[in-house]
Structures are given as C-alpha cells and as structure tokens.
Chains A and B, each alone.
Chain A
C-alpha cells in the first residue's frame, strides 16, 4: 500500500449545534484519485475545509502525512503538501500567469522581495510537470476558464503538493477541456500526487477515479474502489432514493409547430439548419463546443441575427433582429454562464425575478410597489421549489442550483411561448437537477415549446423528446430520444470528435 497522505478517524463537526459531519473515516493514499461525491449540503465542503485546516474539528483524529494534528492551521496543511483548488480557483485575473503560479510559493517561503526571473522559472517548471505550454506574461483576465484552472493546478504543484483537492473542477469546462484536465490528472497521479476530485457528474466520476467515497448528511455511506462500485447505485447512495432515467415521451398539445426554422445560416457559425418544435415538445440540441449549438441558440434569441433562411413562429414568418424583438415574440433564453449573463448577483431575488418584466409591474405612474415585487417573487419561489427565502436575499447568496432556478424564474415571469435553455443544469447537484428537469417538463406540458442546449446525455434522454446533434456548424443527426440509447447518442457525439 502507498503512503497515507491523509487519515481521518471518526471526525465530527458541528455548526451552531447542528451536526454536519458524523464519525467520518477517510484515508487518501499517494498517487490515487479519490472521488468525493455528495449532494449540496452533504458535508463535503466542510470535510475539505477540515483537511485544509480552515475549520477546526471537534471529535476524532486527523493525521496529515502520518502526523497527528489536533488543530491544524491552513499553513500547516499546506506545509504537509495539501492544496485545495476552489471552484473560483482563487487566481488573480489582474496578474500574469507567471505571478499567479509563483505567488503562493513565494508566500510559503516567506519571500519579501519579488524576483521576476525566479517567478518565471517556478511557473515554467510547474507547467512543464503537467506538460502544458502557456504565455507566462499573459494576464489571466485574457484566458479561458480552463486555462485559469491550469494556472491554479500549476500553482498547487509549485508548492510541492502531495494532495490536490479539486472542488467541482469540470463545472465550467467543455468536453474537450475536461479530457485535457483528465490527462493532467493522470499525469499528476503518475508522479505520485493524490487527487480528491469533488464532482456531481457521474460519468466523470467513473471515468477518472480510482476510488469513490459517497457522503450523505455528514456520513460516509460508501467508500469503494471504482471496480467494485455498483454504477447504478451511485445516485441511490447520494440521495438515498432512486431517480429513474427514462426517456421522455412528450405529448404535443398541438399539431402546428410553435417555431419552425428553415435553412437558417450565419457565416462561420452554423449553416442550413432546419427544425421545428411543437407546443409541448422539448428539443435537445447537442454537439461539441464549437459545433455551432450555442451560436444557434443566440441567433434564436436575436443576439446574433441570422443572415439567411426563415423563421416561423406559429406559422407567421418573423425576423428576429435583437433581443427585444425576440422577447416580444415570446422567446426566452436561459444563458449558459448563469453567473455572468443571467443574474444581477448583487441584487435581491425580487429584483432579479422582476428585471425582465419590470414594465409590467409598474403602475400607471411608473412606480413599482414593494408588495407587487414581493408577491411576484414569492410566486416563483414556490413554483420553482426553492427553499423559502426572503425575496430581499441577494442572488449571490444562493447555491449554484438555486441561482439557476432564479434565472429560470426571471424568464418564466415573461410567460414565454418558446424557451431556449443553454446548459440548464451545469454545476447543479443531482437532486436539484431532477427538480429543474421536472420544472422544464411541466412547462412543456403547459404548451410551451422548449429547446435545450446540453452535452449531458442523461439529461437529453430524460428530458427531451427530440434530439439534434451538430458538428462543424451543421446538423449531422436528428431523431427521437425514445429511439436512441445512451451509447448510441454518445457515439453520435463522439463521431464528430473523430473528425
């Protein structure tokens, strides 16, 4: 057996009288990838913070690299080679790649003076270890999310990390970027570095991990090597009940399509795309990043107007030149990056719910009463099955799943006829995910035409009635979801990758 890097023995933790961790036993060995799976609020973040010395623990024993720590500090934890990469990566977008990577090791070594040549050396060495090339002088603000993540990983490596904890590292990545991340993880593993991989995405868990530990309500309910782990039981372990993955058979409430597009194109983005969606139908559009799926969605919402082809809504030919027109035609769009595009993070729930329909809420003097805001918000809070919160709570205080619901609510308030959702459950845990799916299906049942852009095959199969696969800016496959299996659809998407 390899070295034990971390050992937790019957660890307990309470927050203001509420027990969040109960007798947790967990070990991490050098060179292994351990997946820590659990719903939001199951205690995984607390567990990570105890290992990294942010929170003190109350009962039990904690060993880092074989040494007992009664009250570890973050610095001690770092000195034992433990590094956490949070979801926001804790990188500085105003600084260069080199400085970001070298900064922590400079702090760790109590440097007072900055040696820029040394910074470059540290950075290029760390990048070399994971076999990545990057412009060391580039400012992080100009990099993609995936590149920022690589910077964060390199920074961990430069601090002689023995264990890197990655908190939902794939949330904001495309499939291609995820593959690259996995390559990096395998490379680190080969160098004897252990990884704790926290994720919601079940496919990924089985793809990358050596061992899976499931945490539920503060207890480790199962901890098994991946070969022995019953794949179909994972969701059950996580939420304590089964969620069925079955195809969604829709019942369109009308024969005439709500929206029909005919041969629409936009140069360099998509070409000759045709499809139609009837009221009550849910159409999924999938494909690799860069296949044109997001651009297509943006065109439907008027952000990038089409250059040729026709769009019919309820049989009437329309031109969608901007978002305002799209909104007027009854089209709503849920953006991909909910944090940057969909929400006013600093504003309250009520303000967010009302932002799109603000002109409907104001009275004839142009004044909006708080009571109107409140009743509007409370309606959606209940409708979306959100934990009852005050409508004055700022959006930034909500978890990922709830933020997605706020954006949903914001657009639903416009009572759209056509709803385009781009990655509706990215970064959302399993339970919230199935709730959001239920909401979407409910919307379709009420006669809305829904278009989902997604690369989550399970989601596509369980929520949509039709699926379109795009590749190189055009449609390569079209079919009913009930006629295609998980593997077949996957193969269709992968076939595009082969090209």
Chain B
C-alpha cells in the first residue's frame, strides 16, 4: 500500500517540490518568506489555468499548439472591445469580461475541433496551423498595438490589485494572496470534477486510451472532440483574460513561445503524452514545480545567462526520475 502511494506520480512531484524547496531555502532564505511564496502562487495562476486545457487535449491523445494564441486572441479582443465600450462611458463588470473571453475561446476551440474531426488533420498540425490563423486574424482585424493600463477596462485593473488576507509589509504596501489564485484553484477544481465525474470527461479518457474502442462502446467521437477543444478554448480564454488583467497591459506578443513550458509542466505532472492518462492534482503540482524552479533561479543565485540551461537540466532530471518510477510501478503491478 505504501509502495503504491510512493509510486504515484503525484507523490513524486510533491517530493520534488519539497526537495527543491529545501535546496532553494538553504541557498537563499528569502525563498521561504511568505511574500515569496505568495508571489510564486500568483505566478502559477496563468500556467495553471492554461495547463487545465492542455491536459484535456493531451488526455484525448493530442498535443495542443494553439492554446496561447486562443488565450491571447480571446483576451485581447475582449479587452479591446470593452476598452472601447469604456471610452464611451460604460463600465463592464469583470465577470462579463471573463465570460466574453471564455466564449470567444470556446468558439476558436470549436474551429480546432472541426479541423480535427471533420478534416481528420492530426491535432498537432491542426492546432499549429490554427494558431497562426488566429494570430493573423487578430493582427489583421482586431489589432496588434498595446492596450495600456489607462485604456484597459477598469474592472480588469481593479481585479489585478485585489488581494485576500492582506497585511502591510515592511515597505508599507499591502501583501496578500492575490485573488486570481482563487480563480486558478476554481479552474483546477472544476476541470477535475468535469473530467472525473461526468461521462463527457470519461469519454475523453476513453478516446485517449483507444479511439476505436471508444467508438465501439458507444461514445460519439465527434462530440467528445468538440468537448475537448471547446473546453480547452474556454479555459484558454479564461487564462488569457486573467493573465492580461494581472499584468495590466495587453501585449499581443506576450504569450508567444510559452507553449512548451506549459506543456512540459503538464507532462511532468504525470499526463501521458500518448493520451489516456492525467490528473488535475498532478498537473497542479507539475505547474508548481516548474514555476518554483524557473521563478527562483535568480533568487538562489544562478547567473541569468545560465537560467535557461539550468531550467532545462532540472526538467530533464524531473522527467528521468519520473521514467524510472514508471518502470518501478510497472514492475510492482506485474508482481501483484
């Protein structure tokens, strides 16, 4: 029984988090300060929400390359729309902004689904191309210039300044848990519930496990596919809107090139690249682990020019440990 727990991927991620936590804490005690931990949680918000969508697509057996552009498209268009609305004197509540961004995301996701199930394009290729299409459409028809803090919808700026359990720090400013952390936790929780307790969610696992069997037991692959990509798009829309609010500026290029960092976190969290397996808890831990490493290298004194190198090494290390553990797990089950 203990062996089974030890061999769980979540246990491994958690131990690695503790391991790196201790090493970093020794290297620089500031790492363990409450402020740093609160910052770390806030920095995990964007990758954690995006990761939910990435995980769903991975479980279904594909790799999504479009989620960041869907996120940017949705969030940028939404903030642009409401900045114009605001300039005309109407203030829109944050919930409306989120819902509109999520709606746009889901819409774009359904285009991915169309490419994948109707035209039978492999997910990787389909999403890689759609990412470019979304980007092009956005630059051509929505815009490509920055949206500055003073133009941004007020509710987004308010959101970015909202803290929970805040207390004054030494410097006199308020320190606390950023409200977006709760949104991330909610997104993770809802994704967990949907994937674990709905037949739709289970059909994604079935699809990722064996597509033809899934069809034979009576799942509609078209429906499942639509669900996968609409969910992924919706989540990306949410992540994008929250990320843009948090940095108070909409820069269309801001998410560029982060596909693999998020995907790596999801995979390190135990989601199987070939589909069929993955848990939200694992993904949350994977995001925490990768961000813990990447966001603290300066703090622990790794010279900036080595940051990427060291981050890459640590990711490889984490993945190797995982592979070894996977082998041990298989051996254990075979022994049973």
Contacts and interface: CB of A to CB of B under 8 A. Distances in A.
Report A-B touching, CB under 8 Å. yes
B216 A94 contact: no
A77 B275 CA distance: 31
Given A91-B213, A92-B276, A99 B218 contact: no
Contacts of B200: 112
A142 B218 contact: no
Given A106-B199, A114-B197, A142-B333, A88 B213 contact: yes
Contact of B218 (A88, A95, A108, A141): A108
A232 to B, nearest CB: 38
A75 interface: yes
B198 A103 contact: no
B99 to A, nearest CB: 23
B192 interface: no
Contact of B206 (A74, A88, A92, A111): A92
Contact of A114 (B199, B210, B276, B277): B199
Given A103-B202, A142-B334, A95 B197 contact: no
B198 A113 contact: yes
B334 to A, nearest CB: 7
Contacts of A141: 333
A149 to B, nearest CB: 14
Contacts of B218: 74-75, 78, 104, 107-108
Contacts of A103: 202, 206, 217
B287 to A, nearest CB: 22
Interface residues of B, number: 27
A423 to B, nearest CB: 21
A83 B253 CA distance: 54
Contact of A94 (B197, B199, B208, B333): B208
Interface in A84-134: 86, 88, 90-95, 99, 103-104, 106-108, 111-114
Interface in B191-213: 196-202, 205-206, 208-210, 212-213
A429 interface: no
Contacts of A142: 330, 333-334, 336
Interface string B269-310: 000100111000000000000000000000000000000000
A387 B209 CA distance: 33
Contacts of A75: 218
Given A92-B276, A142-B334, A114 B198 contact: yes
Contact of A107 (B212, B219, B277, B330): B219
A112 B209 contact: no
A456 interface: no
Given A75-B218, A90-B217, A94-B276, A107 B210 contact: no
A168 interface: no
A438 B334 CA distance: 38
Contact of A86 (B199, B216, B336): B216
Nearest to A88: B213
A112 B198 CA distance: 6
Contacts of A139: 333
B333 A90 contact: no
Contacts of B202: 99, 103, 114
Best-surrounded residue of A93, A94, A139 (most CB of chain B within 10 A)? A94
B226 to A, nearest CB: 16
B127 to A, nearest CB: 22
Contacts of B216: 86, 90
A112 B277 CA distance: 21
A138 interface: yes
A90 B199 contact: no
B271 to A, nearest CB: 12
A320 to B, nearest CB: 26
A112 B334 CA distance: 34
Nearest to A75: B218
B217 A95 contact: no
Given A107-B218, A142-B333, A94 B205 contact: yes
Contacts of A86: 216
B316 to A, nearest CB: 25
Contacts of B208: 94
B206 A95 contact: yes
A196 B333 CA distance: 33
Contacts of B219: 107
Given A111-B199, A114-B196, A93 B333 contact: no
Contacts of A91: 210, 213
Best-surrounded residue of B200, B201, B210, B275 (most CB of chain A within 10 A)? B210
Nearest to B216: A90
B196 A92 contact: no
Interface string A56-84: 00000000000000000011001000000
Contacts of A111: 199
A113 B330 CA distance: 31
A37 B124 CA distance: 44
Contacts of A108: 218
Contacts of B275: 94
Nearest to A90: B213
A488 B250 CA distance: 84
A113 B199 CA distance: 6
Nearest to A110: B199
Contacts of A92: 205-206, 209-210, 213-214, 276
A93 B198 contact: no
A104 to B, nearest CB: 5
A86 B277 CA distance: 24
Contacts of A135: 336
A95 B210 CA distance: 11
Nearest to B213: A90
A337 to B, nearest CB: 15
A91 B206 CA distance: 9
A153 to B, nearest CB: 14
A92 to B, nearest CB: 4
Interface string A212-223: 000000000000
Contact of B199 (A74, A93, A95, A112): A112
B335 to A, nearest CB: 10
A40 B10 CA distance: 47
Best-surrounded residue of A91, A92, A95 (most CB of chain B within 10 A)? A92
Nearest to B4: A137
A394 to B, nearest CB: 16
A97 B209 CA distance: 14
B23 to A, nearest CB: 34
Nearest to A104: B217
B293 to A, nearest CB: 29
Contacts of B201: 114
Nearest to B201: A114
B205 A95 contact: yes
A210 B275 CA distance: 43
Contacts of B212: 90
Contacts of B272: 94
18 contacts: A90-B212, A90-B216, A90-B217, A92-B205, A92-B276, A93-B210, A94-B277, A95-B206, A95-B209, A95-B276, A106-B199, A107-B199, A107-B217, A111-B199, A113-B197, A113-B198, A142-B333, A142-B336
Interface of A: 74-75, 78, 86, 88, 90-95, 99, 103-104, 106-108, 111-114, 135, 138-139, 141-142
Given A92-B205, A92-B210, A103-B202, 16 more contacts: A75-B218, A86-B216, A90-B210, A90-B212, A90-B217, A91-B210, A93-B209, A93-B276, A94-B276, A95-B206, A99-B202, A103-B217, A107-B199, A114-B198, A138-B336, A142-B333
Listed from nearest, the 5 A-B pairs whose CB atoms lie closest are: A94-B276, A142-B333, A90-B213, A92-B209, A94-B209
